[in-house]
Amino acid sequence: MSAAQASCVSDSVAGMNGWSVSDRGVNVLPSGRILRGRGLRHRTPDGLVPEFGIYLLNDPPRSMPWDARWIRWPDFWLPFDRGDAQVALREAWCRAAAERVEVACGGGRGRTGTALACIAVLDGVPAQEAVAYVRKHYDPRAVETPWQRRYVDRFRTP
């Protein structure tokens, strides 16, 4: 385990955050951390709301009744500020140890899948395997473009 991983470890267990691993969009990382990915163009899933959300959009999202962070990220592309994106994705990974964390873009596949793959890298999945991991555990069509895949392949833990 890297120093970056060790600084966020808690005693959380998969499912303790209240989301079921069988719920739509719920992604369980190897460490047991749970994150929910979704598309904002779809209705909000029933049940418990997130405690923290990362929203990957070109324009700021509407106000959420929970703690939220916006990453400026145009559809089919990459984040404008990669340093800010890395900090935000690390925050999502850290907070997922004890909170319900949501990662979302418009459709819930390209940007969301890319972000979830990067978070999987933070969790210890090798970067070259992270896209396959997210496609298996979240959505088979996650990470839509070659440059999104390359972004994940080159994503490194701090």
Asked if the structure places residue 117 within a domain, the reply is yes
* 15 lies in some domain: no
pLDDT at 20: 79
At 158 the pLDDT is 64
Q: What is the DSSP string of 2-68?
A: -HHHHTT--S--TTTTS--TTSTTEEE-TTS-EEEEEETTSPPPSSPPPSEEEEEESSPPPP-SSEE
DSSP element (H, E) containing 135: helix 127-137
pLDDT at 77 over 90: no
Q: Answer whether residue 29 shows pLDDT above 90.
A: yes
Number of domains in the chain: 1
Rounded to an integer, the average pLDDT of 57-66 is 90
The predicted structure's pLDDT at residue 142: 93
In a domain, 100, yes or no: yes
Q: Which pLDDT does position 16 carry in this prediction? A: 58
pLDDT at 4 over 60: no
- CATH number for the domain that contains residue 57: 3.90.190.10
Determine, yes or no, domain membership for 111: yes
Q: Provide the pLDDT for residue 5.
A: 46
Domain that holds residue 147: 3-10+23-154
Does the pLDDT value for residue 13 go beyond 60? no
Query: What is the mean predicted confidence (pLDDT) over 132-149?
Result: 94
Q: What is the pLDDT, as a whole number, of residue 14?
A: 41
64-87 average pLDDT score: 91
Whether residue 17 lies inside any domain: the answer is no
Residue 44, pLDDT score: 83
Query: What's the predicted TM-score (pTM) here?
Result: 0.88
Type of residue numbered 6:
A
Q: Is the pLDDT of residue 3 over 50?
A: no
Report DSSP state, residue 98. Answer: T
